[in-house]
A and B are shown apart, each in its own frame.
Chain A
Amino acid sequence: MITSLTAERLACARGDRKLFENLSFRVRAGQALAVEGANGSGKTSLLRLIAGFLSPAAGRLIVQDARGESDDAEERGKKIGWLGHHDGLKPQLTVQEQLTFWAALYRGTVNADALAQVGLARQADLPCRYLSAGQKRRLALARLLVSSRPLWLLDEPFAALDTAGQALVAQLMARHCGQGGIIIAATHDPLGLGNESLKL
């Protein structure tokens, strides 16, 4: 479990272009942070920075947990549950095969009802090429659940989902925060968690 994630005067540059600088925030266990901003303002870059794919041009990211503080990107990566812009699904594999694969790769628990929770129980044996964009998103959510990571980084979590799907995301996020998890989400829609938001 993570106690808090702190950004200290973070700056991010892509090529010669500075996306943001002097960005500081702190998210504590059980809290969510919505990252807002126009297209191209660096929301995804901030998430990739936290995930450790990008390194900051300046500043530090500190994760605090029971064992103390750490700003090591590799270590931070092992705590992250990632819901990216792309769903990361293979058209040839069935819904169940994908979920089993990711659960095993993440040493997560193969939670039998993860598919039921996201409303895909009936599609378990269907190859992913037959899924709609929204159903793929739901499967990506199920993967997020089975990866059982404390720090969720969500890029446009509501994208492609219908009203019921959006309510599902809100419900899963509320539960994750309730269990002491941390959520950082890049979004244009309100998260509805009584969360703080960060304007880029």
Chain B
Amino acid sequence: MNPFFTLLARDIRLASRSGGSAFLALSFFALVATLVPLGVGADLRLLARVGGGVLWVGAVLAALLSLDRLFQGDFEDGSLDLIALSPLPLELTALAKMLAHWLSTGAALTLLSPLLALLFNLTPAATLTLFLSLLLGTPAVSAVGAIGASLTLSLKRGGLILPLIILPLLSPAVIFGAGAVSLTLDRLAPGGALGLLAAFSAGAVLLSPFAAAASVRLNLGG
């Protein structure tokens, strides 16, 4: 198997083993989505109105939970040195780790979202838009998150600084993602918002491996 897929498969395996991040992210997402309607009350119109935003913020925070360990685990136990000396360029290493993170959190959250949309009384059309927006937008969360994770990988409590770095950068994803759901609720076409979201995601996924690799290189020399 080629080194890229080898690393991808290993990271997914680590995320899905006991103590892995995949289950944690899913249960966090489900809990947030369950608690908000309990707090807001049974006003179905209000719930539908805030549903897109709440689910988007919940998805971003759930994905964030495991982001700080993206490089840190491998850095602390010495694996990152060995990965850096392997035939796989660091840019592709970063891409493989981002992809593994997305598959084990972002993609899983996306699949779960239609179920949680029921709690917010979202219409079928709005649920479909939510699903599409998460599918298009969560790769950006993993990609931008990888930059933040690479910058904080040698910090002992990097997980605390990480959200401060990446949440502001992720605001476009939340705005377009939740906006697309609102547009659908207002019976307007969400295509524009989804298009901008896809563009943001594509840009983030294309550029972040280079930024993350550069930052990992600096940290290995530190």
Contacts and interface: CB of A to CB of B under 8 A. Distances in A.
21 contacts: A53-B84, A53-B220, A55-B221, A80-B85, A82-B81, A86-B76, A86-B77, A87-B77, A88-B77, A88-B82, A90-B14, A90-B77, A90-B79, A92-B19, A92-B20, A93-B17, A101-B6, A105-B83, A105-B88, A106-B87, A143-B82
Given A53-B220, A93-B14, A105-B83, A88 B6 contact: no
Contacts, number: 68
Interface in A49-71: 51, 53-55
B205 to A, nearest CB: 22
A105 B8 CA distance: 10
Interface residues on A, range: 20 to 34
Nearest to B219: A53
A84 B220 contact: no
A93 B13 CA distance: 9
A51 B79 CA distance: 14
Contacts of B14: 90, 92-93
Interface string A92-116: 1100010001101111000000000
A105 B6 contact: yes
B1 A102 contact: no
Contact of B82 (A54, A55, A102): A102
A86 B14 CA distance: 19
Contact residues on B (Cβ < 8 Å of other chain), bracket: 20 to 34
A78 interface: yes
A93 B12 CA distance: 12
B81 A51 contact: yes
Given A88-B79, A90-B79, 12 more contacts: A51-B81, A53-B84, A53-B221, A54-B221, A84-B78, A88-B74, A90-B73, A101-B10, A102-B82, A104-B6, A105-B3, A105-B88
Tell me if A's interface is mostly helix, strand, loop or mixed: loop
Contact of A106 (B78, B79, B86): B86
Interface of B: 1, 3, 6-7, 10, 13-14, 17-20, 73-74, 76-79, 81-88, 220-221
Contacts of B83: 105
A54, A93, A104: which has the most chain B beta carbons within 10 Å?
A104
Contacts of B6: 101, 104-105
A73 B222 CA distance: 16
Contacts of B77: 86-90
Interface in A172-199: none
